[in-house]
Structure 1
Amino acid sequence: MSQFAGGSRTESTHHRLYEFAKSALIKIFVHPYATVCDLYCGGGVDAEKWDEAQIGHYIGIDASSSGINQIKEAWESQRKAYTAEFFEVDPCMEDIEMHLQEKSNMADLVCCLQDLQLCFQTEERARRLLQNVSLLLKPGGYFFGITPDSSTIWAKYQKNVEAYHNRSSGMKPNIVPNCIRSESYMITFEVEEEKFPLFGKKYQLKFTNDNSAETRCLVHFPSFIRLAREAGLEYVEIQNLTEFYDDNRAQFAGMLINSGPNLVDPRGRLLPRSYDILGLYTTFIFQKPDPDIAPPLMTPLLQDTTFSHDEVLPKEWQGNGWRDEEKTVHVEPPVGLGKISEQKGILGPGPAELRFPEAL
């Protein structure tokens, strides 16, 4: 279940911003009559979005029977124009092929608009999810969604650590502050440590208007890319939602203005509080290459085979954790493919970019 399930759903700033981000991604990616597979779809909150996108067929997958029942009811009660089927399966724990017979290679799009981070408790869970995504997608299809931006969250945490050590040099060693606070939210790490483990780095996120916090895991982007590539998915882009909004502001400013007051200024620029909240999240985009149409998109080369903190990452990213400075890797479209923005309006102008910090 999404962290937006509690509190004042229709009033809270973070809920309105998150719903806007989901709507914007769906408008960019989804074409009429597409077959869409929605992972962790429970609750049925996006049923209207799929209807507006004029999809042809919907496959809803969720690990919770109550979540599946909710989205079934939302679809049946509103008599959507698209056909739909629903499956109670945990895509990071089970082999989807055993449950969705004859559904392999049939989805134009697979999305995960919430709860991807739950799959990063272990490498095995993340690997299983990506293998299932690859199984579901048609060649040429896209896997996209939203997840907390681990580089942003970890950079904020490292700033706290640095500030703490600068002002408390005479205090006890080996004590690391484990909280990030802002006007809108509080992030608490369960284990006080300076090292960023590749999987299972747990934290709790609580927004100001919510009654309780939910436990999440940070998504280590280089490991995400590595496992995706192992599953046959090529990296396209990982982009913070503030940058995603700025790149597409001309198209989406009106949507955000209509989402409610106090989100943007009259020119459509994000107000500071909106920027702070939206900056906690990132888009992610991968593609299953179609060898019959074009060469695959190029993924930044990450060392694979063995899996250890020092061997998985290139030398310049090795160390005990991530820090505030960020590294940008440009990924040019291969010859003959052209910009993705020219094909489907998926990305803004210029090359796709991967953003993640250098290691300490």
Structure 2
Amino acid sequence: MNKRPREDEPSSSLASAQKRQFGAGGGYGEQGYSEERISAQRVADHYSARSNQTLEERENSPIIHLKKLNNWIKSVLVQLYARPGDCVLDLACGKGGDLIKWDKAKVGYYVGVDIAEGSIKDCMTRYNGDSDQQRRKKFSFPARLICADCYETRLDEYLCEDAPFDICSCQFAMHYSWSTEARARQALANISALLRPGGTFIGTMPDANVIIKRLRESEGMEFGNSVYCITFGEEYTEKDAVDCPEWVVPFHLFKLLAEEFDLELVLMKNFHEFVHEYVQRPEFADLMRRLGPLGDGRSGQSTLSQDEWEASYLYLAFVLRKRGPPPSQRRANNPNRGKTFLAEEDIEFLSI
């Protein structure tokens, strides 16, 4: 899938792109290894090139309420499944947009991994609290940042002294691993090897059932609204298209493959179903009001547009759990890993 993004597009968010192109056929792609490395590098370069936005710039985004809804959903997942003191593995962590969520959950240790060097450096800046958009106290947990393709690189040996992790998160990015079967398997192998028995894997990704249904209802190979446009095909004629491929992941195949790596399904809900269910809970309803995707209850307050709500229907949330009983005692974090202030030389770079 290629895309022509808006300037205000959030990391890995399909719904905010003007133009995206999916590989038709679903499941695994058949690209060669060298071509796959080139494709992965294009993704990394795309996200590295995008600059951080100030709070004012984000608030002026035409899709600000969709972004806030996505943040609400991720916050609910973290609050539901993270526990104080947890050791967190954040795959495709991007610019560190979820750091505050982990801090509010009072986690004990954080490892962020992303393929894009620019994003990892922005994540470091956000973690250190010295960005103009990070007006808050320093984070309470030590952190470690790694620049690597977690869908190609084996992480189990490299992170053996940090493992096992209590919770792993991969937000709006798991589908990037489905360009080949080898990458999909390596992604799940890393997650399974690094999670403790009973550990949790939370994530969000495009909902293939909805996307294919919408495609079948459309007259051609393209559909969308004022917020997004999705195009299926192999050739790209638009000069301003960014070559950033993405893949449709049939969830039943994702579930079956995850089971091969001892990861059992706990939850899978389309974003609409997820919102309807969890907004009924008082603590999450209050969070919805505070984040503001549906406004704050004041007369005339802007809220999620119909086109943004329709775009959110293209996504689902999932939770998987590593088979086996949890350990009777939590392993103490390695005191030699992680820092409470990170310099650029602390960022670790891994190649395959």
**1:39 pairs with 2:91:** yes
Partner deviation per Cα, 1:314-337 (whole Å, 9 max, x = no partner): xxxxxxxxxxxxxxxxxxxxxxxx
**For residues 29-108 of structure 1, what are the structure 2 equivalents within 5 Å?**
29-77=81-129, 79-104=138-163, 106-108=164-166
Query: What residue number does 1:119 align with?
Result: 177
Cα distance, 1:19–1:292 mapped onto 2, change above 3 Å: closer
Provide the C-alpha distance between the structure 2 equivalents of 1:150 and 1:264, rounded to a whole number of angstroms.
32
* Residue pair 1:240, 1:279 contacting (<8 A) in 2 also: yes
**For residues 244-255 of structure 1, what are the structure 2 equivalents within 5 Å?**
244-251=274-281, 252-255=284-287
TM-score by length of 1: 0.65
Provide the C-alpha distance between the structure 1 equivalents of 2:259 and 2:106, rounded to a whole number of angstroms.
31
Provide the C-alpha distance between the structure 2 equivalents of 1:88 and 1:102, rounded to a whole number of angstroms.
18
Cα distance, 1:215–1:18 mapped onto 2, change above 3 Å: farther
**How many Å apart are 1:102 and its aligned residue?**
2.1
**For residues 1-360 of structure 1, what are the structure 2 equivalents within 5 Å?**
1-3=11-13, 9-10=58-59, 11=61, 12=63, 13-77=65-129, 79-104=138-163, 106-160=164-218, 164=219, 177-191=220-234, 215-251=245-281, 252-260=284-292, 272-291=306-325
**How many Å apart are 1:289 and its aligned residue?**
1.4
> Identity across aligned pairs (percent)?
29
1:26 is paired with a residue of what secondary structure? helix
Aligned residues: 260
2:156 is paired with a residue of what secondary structure? helix
* Residue pair 2:225, 2:307 contacting (<8 A) in 1 also: no
Partner deviation per Cα, 1:299-324 (whole Å, 9 max, x = no partner): xxxxxxxxxxxxxxxxxxxxxxxxxx
Partner deviation per Cα, 1:199-250 (whole Å, 9 max, x = no partner): xxx9x9xxxxxx9795421112122112111111112222101101111112
TM-score by length of 2: 0.66
Partner deviation per Cα, 1:153-178 (whole Å, 9 max, x = no partner): 11100111xxx3xxxxxxxxxxxx11
Partner deviation per Cα, 1:137-167 (whole Å, 9 max, x = no partner): 010011111101111111100111xxx3xxx
Cα distance, 1:112–1:285 mapped onto 2, change above 3 Å: same
> What RMSD over aligned residues (CA atoms) do the two structures have, in Å?
3.0
**How many Å apart are 1:270 and its aligned residue?**
7.7
- Structure showing greater radius of gyration is 1
- Give the number of the structure with larger relative contact order, counting CA–CA contacts within 8 Å between residues 6 or more apart: 2
1:97 is paired with a residue of what secondary structure? coil
Unaligned stretches of 5+ residues in structure 1: 165-176, 193-201, 205-210, 294-360
Provide the C-alpha distance between the structure 2 equivalents of 1:213 and 1:265, rounded to a whole number of angstroms.
41
**How many Å apart are 1:277 and its aligned residue?**
2.3
Provide the C-alpha distance between the structure 2 equivalents of 1:129 and 1:142, rounded to a whole number of angstroms.
15
Unaligned stretches of 5+ residues in structure 2: 1-10, 17-46, 130-136, 328-352
* Residue pair 2:222, 2:230 contacting (<8 A) in 1 also: yes
What amino acid does structure 2 have at the position aligned with 1:278? S
Provide the C-alpha distance between the structure 2 equivalents of 1:278 and 1:87, rounded to a whole number of angstroms.
30
**How many Å apart are 1:263 and its aligned residue?**
5.8
Cα distance, 1:264–1:145 mapped onto 2, change above 3 Å: farther
